[in-house]
């Protein structure tokens, strides 16, 4: 049977594969509508992090064209998790409301300053972010931004869907899925830790099933 670490990694793979937001998204500025003086998040990336969490890394420009960079590490469970590097928000929450839609809430000093939804298209190639809130000057705003998915090789979800090598064919479908997910993580990229550092998952040892 599979060793215990393999089972834990399998669960993580299933979680991330099921999340349509995982990966890198690039702003489609031509389709987007911004409030005057709005910050533009030009690139947003979601990657697996330590403890079954997800890391969100955002790069963009502020109203003066100066670069911005902030990160968030947490779970999509509706609870607030801290943001590092953002002058506008202290915490951010993600809460799934549909298969491809998450509700998000940003707070500053405990006060809600922005709410919205993030919806990924059925084909997984684009997403739309609808946000409403109050800026630092107390003015209300509404932004509708569109993003295109960037592909840099196979994602975890794509790899999980790929065929199992001929040498690893098993009649039990559930075990096939478990082994497939474990093999994906065996060859996975470095995982981001909560503190921003990286670690690489050690290769799994294959044992008879």
pLDDT digits (tens, 9 = 90+) for 139-179: 899 999 999 999 865 444 444 444 444 444 445 555 555 55
At 202, list the tokens.
């050690």
Cα separation, 151 vs 24, whole angstroms: 8
88 part of a folded domain: yes
Considering the chain, what percentage of its residues have pLDDT values greater than 70?
64
- Predicted pLDDT at 175: 57
For 103, the token pair is 């509700």
Task: List the domain range (segments joined by +) for residue 187.
Answer: 4-13+153-199
Same domain for 77 and 158, yes or no, is: no
- Please state, for a pLDDT cut of 90, what percent of the chain lies above it: 55
Residues 77 and 170 in one domain: no
Question: Is the full-model pTM beyond 0.95?
Answer: no
State the average pLDDT over residues 45-68.
95
Q: What is the pLDDT of the chain when averaged over all its residues?
A: 77
Q: How many domains does the chain have?
A: 2
Q: Say which residues have a Cβ less than 8 Å from residue 57's Cβ, sequence separation at least 6.
A: 44, 45, 47, 69, 70, 71
């Amino acid at each position: 049977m599979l060793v215990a670490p393999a089972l834990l990694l399998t669960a993580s793979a299933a979680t991330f594969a099921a999340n349509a937001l995982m990966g890198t998204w690039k702003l489609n500025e031509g389709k987007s509508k911004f409030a005057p003086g709005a910050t533009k998040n030009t690139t947003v990336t979601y990657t697996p992090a330590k403890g079954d969490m997800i890391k969100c890394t955002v790069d963009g420009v502020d109203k003066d064209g100066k670069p911005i960079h902030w990160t968030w590490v947490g779970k999509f469970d509706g609870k607030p998790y801290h943001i590092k590097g953002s002058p506008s928000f202290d915490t951010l929450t993600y809460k799934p409301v549909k298969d491809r839609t998450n509700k998000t809430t940003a707070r500053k000093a405990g006060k809600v300053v922005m709410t919205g939804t993030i919806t990924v298209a059925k084909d997984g190639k684009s997403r739309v972010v609808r946000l409403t809130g109050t800026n630092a000057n107390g003015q209300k705003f509404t932004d509708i931004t569109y993003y295109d998915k960037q592909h840099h090789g196979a994602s975890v979800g794509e790899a999980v869907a790929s065929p199992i090598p001929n040498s690893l064919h098993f009649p039990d479908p559930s075990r096939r899925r478990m082994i497939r997910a474990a093999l994906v993580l065996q060859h996975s990229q470095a995982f981001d830790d909560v503190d921003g550092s990286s670690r690489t998952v050690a290769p799994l040892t294959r044992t008879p099933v």
